[in-house]
């Protein structure tokens, strides 16, 4: 850990990855409802991009609400946003894959 990060942690002792995971859990159900119906016929890469695009507005609002009272640097905010986005994408893809393993789509021969 560099000196700048260490000083930042002294000023902001919060566990930023844990904060990001909490925000992601808060956003997950709203995002999942937005994207779940459309992902069934998408490739994994398409689904990830679709989730990312539809997640951004929900995550942005939640970040503003959750981080408004915190004094975080721009770098810390970006770090939190990146972790939230990755966590939401992973959980939605995991949910999609789980749903398909239970009810696989049938394709015509």
pTM of the model: 0.75
pLDDT at res. 74: 87
Give the list of residues 6+ apart from residue 108 with CB closer than 8 angstroms, or none: none
**Is 71's pLDDT higher than 90?**
no
Segments making up each domain of the chain, as ranges: 15-102
pLDDT at res. 106: 54
> Rounded mean pLDDT of 38-67?
90
**3-class DSSP state of 2:** coil
Dist. CA 47–CA 43, nearest whole Å: 6
Dist. CA 6–CA 22, nearest whole Å: 23
**Is 9's pLDDT higher than 60?**
no
pLDDT at res. 109: 52
């Amino acid at each position: 850990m560099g000196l700048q990060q260490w000083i930042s942690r002294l000023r902001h002792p919060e566990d930023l990855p844990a904060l990001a995971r909490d925000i992601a859990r808060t956003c997950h159900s709203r995002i999942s409802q937005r994207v779940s119906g459309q992902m069934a016929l998408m490739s994994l890469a398409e689904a990830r991009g679709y989730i990312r695009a539809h997640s951004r507005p929900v995550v942005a609002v939640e970040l503003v609400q959750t981080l408004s009272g915190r004094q975080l640097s721009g770098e810390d905010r970006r770090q939190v946003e990146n972790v939230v986005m990755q966590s939401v994408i992973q959980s939605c893809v995991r949910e999609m894959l789980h749903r398909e393993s239970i009810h696989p789509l049938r394709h015509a021969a």
